[in-house]
Amino acid sequence: MIDDGHAWEPTDETLVASLSGGRALIDWFGCCPSFHDAILERVAIADGDASLALRAFRMTDQTDENGCFILDRHADVIIQMRCVTGLRLTGDAVSIISALTVRRLPATPDRSEWPTCDGPAAGDIEVAFGTSIGLTGSVYAKTVEFELTPAEEPA
């Protein structure tokens, strides 16, 4: 996440709903998901684009006989970022997301942070994710799309 004076912000639900596949994502989960405890299965970077593949679910407020929260609405989600303007990734390849946020950058960041490219600019979309284990980072792009495929509940 670019340090532009803003603390870690929640996802901009209006922005997500306006992006391709965003409304279907919100409808499936019943809210704009934070992807807490989702598994980051794949990161791909090629030809100026990037994608994140997540194995996600909804955590309900109900518990089972063991006192564990009941999970439903399992899905495979691909976040496709086109015309990437910047990347910041750190950590290792095994990753569990703690929170993922989507927002439009309000200002162009300091160019000194991007010595090998122009870097992100005001209006670009930031997809930032923290981790409880593994990879963390931010991807900045001109456009973002969501693909959701309902998945079987794990055994």
| Strand partners of residue 40 | 54
pLDDT in tens, 67-91: 887 778 889 999 999 999 999 999 9
pLDDT in tens, 94-146: 799 999 999 999 888 888 888 888 899 999 999 999 998 899 999 999 999 99
* pLDDT at residue 42, rounded to an integer: 94
pLDDT for 6: 39
- Backbone CA torsion sign across 108, 93, 27, 72: negative
What is the predicted pLDDT for the residue at 123? 95
Q: pTM for this structure?
A: 0.88
Is the pLDDT assigned to residue 93 strictly greater than 70?
yes
Please state the rounded mean pLDDT for residues 30-59: 93
pLDDT at 59: 83
Among residues 28, 37, 35, the alpha carbon closest in space to that of 10 is found at 35
pLDDT, one tens digit per residue, over 61-73 is 888 898 887 778 8
**pLDDT of res. 115:** 86
* Local structure of 121: helix, strand or coil: coil
pLDDT computed for residue 155 by the predictor? 55
Relative to beta strand 49-63, strand 125-133 is unpaired
Query: 9 falls in which pLDDT band (50, 70, 90)?
Result: low
Quick check: 5 pLDDT over 50? no
